[in-house]
Amino acid sequence: MDIDARGPRFGAAVTTVVLAVVLVTGSAWLLAWQTLAFALGAAGGPARSPYGWAFRTLVRPRIGPPTAFESPRPPRFAQAVGLVFAVLGLAGYALGPQWLGLAATGAALAAAFLNAAFGYCLGCEMYLLVRRVTVRTE
């Protein structure tokens, strides 16, 4: 079942804010929250993440029905990529070295910002590239 294309972009906007606050404050707890959000999105798809729930219940009723849909697979893969970077960042903040936390969080922030501001989902593009390569080799 396809999802409202605006949902992942909303989630990316919230993620951008959360990760920016993590970089400013160095809060491992807030990054742990974002790691959980990525894990839920990677396991159940973007609609099962906390930001997907917020979009469905709080935002979507106020902005009207969707006009564009997309497959949930690329955004789900993007959530898994975000999860990897969040885990690395969490390890850096909690265990050290701190530069690892900053770099991994900054990379995740850059990807989330690209999606939120420009609609360019880096993780989705990675998914599509891997899929094209896999289809060609089969």
H-only helix segments in the chain: 6-25, 28-44, 50-54, 60-63, 73-95, 98-118, 122-137
Total number of domains in the chain: 1
Query: What is the CA angle 61-49-17, rounded to 5?
Result: 85
Taking phi over 0 as left and psi of -120 to 50 as alpha, with beta for the rest, 70 belongs to: beta
Cβ 92 vs Cβ 101: under 8 Å: yes
> How far, rounded to the nearest angstrom, does the alpha carbon of residue 135 sit from its chain's CA centroid?
25
* Mean pLDDT within 13-40: 98
Q: Quick: pLDDT tens for 54-95.
A: 999 999 999 999 999 999 999 999 999 999 999 999 999 999
- Lookup: tokens for 19: 């990760």
Q: Is the pLDDT of residue 138 over 80?
A: no
Q: Quote the domain boundaries for residue 18.
A: 3-137
How confident is the model at residue 125, as a pLDDT? 94
Q: Quick: pLDDT tens for 100-134.
A: 999 999 999 999 999 999 999 999 999 999 988 88
